[in-house]
Structure 1
C-alpha cells in the first residue's frame, strides 16, 4: 500500500469555517475501500513505506468507524444467511476523514540495515511515532521479513532467538536468555536464504535462515504456536496444537479472506422497509394462518407504509430465511433464486425501472439461432446488477476453499451483529447450456471417469484440512461444473481482449447442479470499469458467436503444449487436468474456486480423444 502524499495544510483563513477532522490517532496511510474487504481486511498485514502494521479487529469499530463514512448496507438474503442484522461499508479515507480503520505495529521485531542490529521495536528507542534507529542517524528500521503463523489463524514474530540458539547451542539456553545482542545481515553471496545470517554477541556460531520454511522444521526444534491473536485487543492466547510455519511477511498465505456474496434480485432487490420488516418479524409472521393477520401485523410495524401482501408471502416462503437449514444449503438456495431471476429476466418491467434499480436483465434484441451449434440457449443481458460482498473471516497458511469453519479466524473478540462488506454495481452476461445436449454429453463414460479422478483428488484435498465435527466439504466436481468453469475462464480471457476490460475486473459466478447449468460473467467493481456497457454489448448473438469461436480456438492450443495437454492431476491437490497459466487460469480475484477444477479437454477434447469436448465439431477445422 502506498500512503497518501503529504499535503500542505492551508491557513485557517483559507479554510473558512470548516473545522479540521477530529482524529485521535496519527494517519499512517490509505487504502481503497475494496481492499479492506479483499486484500487488507481485519488481521491482514499492510506495508506503509518502511513500516508494517496489522489491521485491528472490529471490537472498537463502533467508535472509530464514523457513521457518515462507514454507511450501513442492507442485503436481506445475505444477512439472513450469515445471522447478522446488517453490513457496514469500510470507512472512507481522505483529508476530511475522521478516525478510520485502526492498525497496530506488526511484526514487532525490527532490524537496522546499517548497524545490522535485530531486536524488538521497543529496544531501539525510536522517537514517538517513528520507526528509526537513533544510533544510525535515524536510519529507517526494517520490519522482520519473516513471521510465524499456523493453520488456526494465529500469528506472531519469527522466533529468531530460538532459531539461532537451537539444540543447546550457546550459553543461557536453559533459561531462554543469553544476554547477547542479535544481528541480522545479508552476505550477498546468493539470493537464497543461505545468505541471510543471524549472529549473537554471546558467541554462539552464526546460522542462516536456510531451512526455516520447511513444513516441520520449527516443530522439530520444539517451537510451538503460542496461540496469539494480535489483531484482537485484549484477546487471550488460545491453546493451539497446530505446528507453526514460517512465512514471508508479504506472502498471500499470511492472510486469505473468507467471503460471501449475493446479487440483489427481485423481490429483495430494493432496500425498502417492507423487505426489512418481513425479515425482522419473520418468526411472528409465520405463526399466522390468515394472510390478513400478516398484513395487520406489518401495518402496525411499518406505521403507514403500504403492504403488498402478495410480495410479503413470496418473501416469507424464501428458503434462504430458514435458519434451521444448513448454511451451505441456504447459500445454494440463494444461487438457485439468482439463477431463476437471471433466466426469466424482467423485460416486462423495463418501462417502470428507474436509474436506481438494482437488477435489469433482458434478452438480446435479435434471435439466438447462431448460438444453437454451440449448445447454448439464448443469453440474457444483465444491464444492471448489484452485488454485496461480505468479509466473514479469514485463514492463514491454508486455502479457505479447502477448509471448514474450524480454521476461520474471527474478525472480533466478541460477536457483533454486523460485518464489513462492499456494495458494488456493474453489468454482466448470463449464459445457459442446452440441457438436452448437455445430458447426452454427460453420458460419455470416458468423461465421467476423467472427472471422477478430479473429484477424488479434490475430495482428498478437502479431507486433509478438515477438523472438527461433521463431514468435510463436498467437492462440487462434476462434468457440467468443470465444463462451465473452464468455459467461463476462456470467455473472461477473450472479453478482456475484445471488450477492453482488464481480466481482473471480470468475475465469474457459476450456477450448477442437476437442474442448473449456467454462468454469469460480470463486472461488479467499485470503479468505473463496472459500468461501461462493453460487456453487455458482447451478448448480442452475432458478436457472442464470434467470441465463442475465437475463445474456443484459443483454448484448442497452449504455448506449453504438449506438456499441458498431456497433463493429469495438476494444480493444488491434483484438482486440475489440462490447465495452466498459459491457457485457462486467471487471476484469483476473477475465479470463485481459486483456479481449481479446470480441464480444457472438456471444451475441445484431446488429440487422442477429441470426442471428450462439449464443443467438438463446432469449430470449422479448415479455418
Structure 2
C-alpha cells in the first residue's frame, strides 16, 4: 500500500512556519519564576491548576530579547553550565513565555459531584467547565509526591475501593464512576467523601495524609514527572509516596545557588568566553591560549591573552585544596571564601573599569570606634551584583536536608544553561574581632547552648532525609548562630531607622574556621536597591549607633520572659530565644529559613548574662 503524501505545513507570508500563539493563563514576576513558581511547581490561575513545564525546549521558544543571557563565571563553573538566562518578561505583543501543563488532571464538578479526568468532562475548547452542568471544574485538592521529586495524581479509585482488596492492576475496572462531595459540617478531611457508583461504601479522606496511607494500599511511587511531559514513568521509583495538598509548600522547594560578581569577573569582560572555558582550562601556556582564542573567534579575540591568563589564574585560586575529590559543598565553600577575601580587601579606584559591578571601599570614618563592640573591618559595598540560579528542586524535604541524589531535574537532557535572576544593589560588610570571638566561643555555656540547637537541627535533617546516614551535617556552631542573629537584628534596626522594608534587605553569612563576617545588602531589583541609604549606614559612627541600638532592642522582647527562657522554639527546637516579635525576618531575607537563631548569645540570659557577646553594652 502506498503511503499518503506528506501533509504540507502552512507557512506565513515570509515562508516561515507561523509562530505559535499559545493561550495565556496568567502572569508571574521574573523573581517568582525562580523562587516560587519555578520548573516543576504547581501554580493556580483562577480556578485552574497547572505545573510549570521543564526546560527541554525553552532555549528555542524563549525569546532572546525577552529572556536575555546573563553571565557569572564563578557560579556557572560551580553548576557546570556555560551561562544563565533570565525568565522571559512578557508584554502584550509577546507570543510565548514560561510554559505550563494542566495538573492535576483529575477534576471534580461541584454540581454533579463527578470525579474524573479533565478530558472526560467534555469541556468546550479553552474552558474548564463541566460539559453537562456548565459549572467550573475544581482541580483535585490532593496530589502525591515522593522524595525523589516525582509527582502524581492521588489514587482516588484505590482509596475508595480499599476495603474490597482490589489490586493496582484492576484500577478503574469496576465500571463505576467516582464522585466527590463535601458534607459542609467542618473543614476537616472527614467532611470530604468519595464514592463509586459500583456500590462500594462511601469513604472520607480522613487518614489519607498518614505517612503509611499509600503504602497500606500497596502503592509505591510510579516515578511520573508531569512537568517534563512524561505521562509514563521514565524509570521505576519504588519510594514511599506521600499525600499532599496541592498548595502545600512541601510540593515544591527550590534549590537556589548564588554568587556575587567580584573582580576580575565583575566588569563583564569575560562574558564572550563563556562557551570556551572548558577548553581554556586545559591550557597552560600563553601560546596555547592565543591559538585557542584565534580559532574560537575566527580572528581577533575580544579578550586579550593577558586578561585570559589573569582570569585562569583567578579561577584556579578557587579550586578546593586537598587530595580528596572535591564535592559540590567543598566547591561552594571555596566560592564563599573568595568572596570573603574580596569583601575584606575591597577594590580601590585603580582596579576599576567603567563597567565594574563590584565597588567595595573602606569607610571615611575611624573604624576604631567599633573596637569596644568587638566589630572590625567595616566595608561599604557601594555597588554589587548577585546572580541566583535555580539548580533543581525538591519535594517533601527541605533542600538543606537532602543530598544531590534527591534533587529533581529541570529537564530530561543536560542543559548548558540554567534559569537565574540578577540583583544589583549595595550593602554593608562587617567582621567580628578574631580574639574576642575566639574567647567567647570557648565558653562552656555558649557551646552547650549551641549544641542543643545543633542536635535538634541534625535530628530534623535526618528525619526528612530518605537516607539518614547520608544526611548533611548541621551548620550550627557558636560562630554561625552569633553571626546569623547579628544579621537579623541589624536588618530589623535598619528597617526601622533607615526606612528600608525588611523584605528588601538580605543577609549573606561568612562563617567558618577562618571567616567571621556578615554582608547585609539590598535584595530587590527595584529602587530600594540603589538609593545609597544602606551604604551610608556603614560609616563607623552610624554603624556604632546602629549596633548599640539593635542590641538594646534585642535585650527585650514583648514575649519575654517566655521567649528568652525558652528551652526550644522554632521548627522542632532549632531556635532558642528567637521569635517573630524580636529577631525573625521575612523568609526572603534569611539564608536559613529563620532557624538557628538565639538572641541570648548576643545579650545573655537573666540567669547567665555572661554568654552574651555584647553583654558589656548592657551594663549600666
TM-score using structure 2 length: 0.90
Please list, as runs of the form range in 1=range in 2, the aligned pairs for 1:443-482 lying within 5 A after superposition: 443-466=442-465, 471-482=470-481
Please list, as runs of the form range in 1=range in 2, the aligned pairs for 1:353-502 lying within 5 A after superposition: 353-354=353-354, 356-466=355-465, 471-502=470-501
**Paired residue secondary structure (1:81):** helix
**Paired residue secondary structure (1:260):** strand
- The answer to whether the Cα contact below 8 Å between 2:358 and 2:381 also exists between their aligned partners in 1 is yes
Residues in 2 aligned to 1:104 and 1:589: alpha-carbon distance in whole angstroms: 28
Label 1:262 to 1:141 Cα distance change in 2 as closer, same or farther (>3 A).
same
Displacement after TM superposition at 1:77 (Å): 0.6
Residues in 1 aligned to 2:468 and 2:244: alpha-carbon distance in whole angstroms: 29
Instruction: State the partner residue of 2:533.
Output: 534
Moved more, 594-603 or 564-573: 564-573
Residues in 1 aligned to 2:424 and 2:25: alpha-carbon distance in whole angstroms: 30
- The answer to whether the Cα contact below 8 Å between 1:549 and 1:619 also exists between their aligned partners in 2 is no
Instruction: State the partner residue of 1:563.
Output: 562
Residues in 2 aligned to 1:296 and 1:396: alpha-carbon distance in whole angstroms: 47
Label 1:190 to 1:236 Cα distance change in 2 as closer, same or farther (>3 A).
closer
Displacement after TM superposition at 1:70 (Å): 1.4
Displacement after TM superposition at 1:190 (Å): 1.5
Deviation track 1:207-234 (CA, whole Å, cap 9, x = no partner) reads: 2222222222222232322211101134
Q: Does 1:121 align with 2:118?
A: yes
Residues in 2 aligned to 1:313 and 1:146: alpha-carbon distance in whole angstroms: 51
Residues in 2 aligned to 1:232 and 1:563: alpha-carbon distance in whole angstroms: 49
Instruction: State the partner residue of 1:255.
Output: 252
**Paired residue secondary structure (1:37):** helix
Displacement after TM superposition at 1:169 (Å): 7.7
Deviation track 1:112-171 (CA, whole Å, cap 9, x = no partner) reads: 2222222210111101111011222x3211111111111111111112222222222899
Deviation track 1:391-420 (CA, whole Å, cap 9, x = no partner) reads: 010001111111111211000011111111
Residues in 1 aligned to 2:605 and 2:216: alpha-carbon distance in whole angstroms: 46
Instruction: State the partner residue of 1:84.
Output: 81
Label 1:481 to 1:469 Cα distance change in 2 as closer, same or farther (>3 A).
closer
Residues in 2 aligned to 1:215 and 1:339: alpha-carbon distance in whole angstroms: 43
- The answer to whether the Cα contact below 8 Å between 2:367 and 2:376 also exists between their aligned partners in 1 is yes
Residues in 2 aligned to 1:274 and 1:307: alpha-carbon distance in whole angstroms: 15
Label 1:234 to 1:158 Cα distance change in 2 as closer, same or farther (>3 A).
closer
Please list, as runs of the form range in 1=range in 2, the aligned pairs for 1:503-582 lying within 5 A after superposition: 503-582=502-581
For structure 2, the 5+ residue unaligned runs are 1-17
Label 1:236 to 1:108 Cα distance change in 2 as closer, same or farther (>3 A).
closer
Label 1:193 to 1:463 Cα distance change in 2 as closer, same or farther (>3 A).
closer
Q: Does 1:232 align with 2:228?
A: yes
- The answer to whether the Cα contact below 8 Å between 1:81 and 1:321 also exists between their aligned partners in 2 is no
Instruction: State the partner residue of 1:18.
Output: none
Label 1:365 to 1:299 Cα distance change in 2 as closer, same or farther (>3 A).
farther
Instruction: State the partner residue of 1:614.
Output: 613
Q: Does 1:43 align with 2:40?
A: yes
- The answer to whether the Cα contact below 8 Å between 2:225 and 2:231 also exists between their aligned partners in 1 is yes
Q: 1:206 aligns with which of 198, 202, 207?
A: 202
Residues in 1 aligned to 2:319 and 2:504: alpha-carbon distance in whole angstroms: 29
Residues in 1 aligned to 2:486 and 2:383: alpha-carbon distance in whole angstroms: 23
Q: Does 1:95 align with 2:100?
A: no
- The answer to whether the Cα contact below 8 Å between 1:558 and 1:564 also exists between their aligned partners in 2 is yes
Label 1:597 to 1:346 Cα distance change in 2 as closer, same or farther (>3 A).
same
Label 1:119 to 1:234 Cα distance change in 2 as closer, same or farther (>3 A).
closer
Moved more, 414-423 or 219-228: 219-228
- The answer to whether the Cα contact below 8 Å between 1:64 and 1:102 also exists between their aligned partners in 2 is no
Instruction: State the partner residue of 2:9.
Output: none
Displacement after TM superposition at 1:102 (Å): 1.2
Residues in 2 aligned to 1:132 and 1:162: alpha-carbon distance in whole angstroms: 26
Residues in 2 aligned to 1:169 and 1:235: alpha-carbon distance in whole angstroms: 26
Label 1:236 to 1:166 Cα distance change in 2 as closer, same or farther (>3 A).
closer
Residues in 2 aligned to 1:313 and 1:225: alpha-carbon distance in whole angstroms: 46
TM-score using structure 1 length: 0.89
Please list, as runs of the form range in 1=range in 2, the aligned pairs for 1:583-602 lying within 5 A after superposition: 583-602=582-601
Instruction: State the partner residue of 1:177.
Output: 173
Residues in 1 aligned to 2:560 and 2:203: alpha-carbon distance in whole angstroms: 44
Label 1:370 to 1:30 Cα distance change in 2 as closer, same or farther (>3 A).
same
Q: 1:156 aligns with which of 145, 152, 171?
A: 152
For structure 1, the 5+ residue unaligned runs are 1-20
**Paired residue secondary structure (1:257):** strand
Residues in 1 aligned to 2:160 and 2:221: alpha-carbon distance in whole angstroms: 18
Residues in 1 aligned to 2:115 and 2:441: alpha-carbon distance in whole angstroms: 61
- The answer to whether the Cα contact below 8 Å between 2:260 and 2:386 also exists between their aligned partners in 1 is yes
Q: Does 1:267 align with 2:264?
A: yes
Residues in 1 aligned to 2:455 and 2:559: alpha-carbon distance in whole angstroms: 26
Deviation track 1:186-213 (CA, whole Å, cap 9, x = no partner) reads: 2221122222222333333222222222
Displacement after TM superposition at 1:293 (Å): 5.8
Moved more, 37-46 or 492-501: 492-501
Residues in 1 aligned to 2:469 and 2:72: alpha-carbon distance in whole angstroms: 29
**Paired residue secondary structure (2:78):** helix
Residues in 2 aligned to 1:564 and 1:217: alpha-carbon distance in whole angstroms: 37
Instruction: State the partner residue of 1:337.
Output: 338
- The answer to whether the Cα contact below 8 Å between 1:275 and 1:315 also exists between their aligned partners in 2 is no
Q: How many residues align?
A: 595
Instruction: State the partner residue of 1:13.
Output: none
Instruction: State the partner residue of 1:11.
Output: none
Root-mean-square deviation (CA, aligned residues, Å) is 2.6
Residues in 2 aligned to 1:53 and 1:389: alpha-carbon distance in whole angstroms: 24
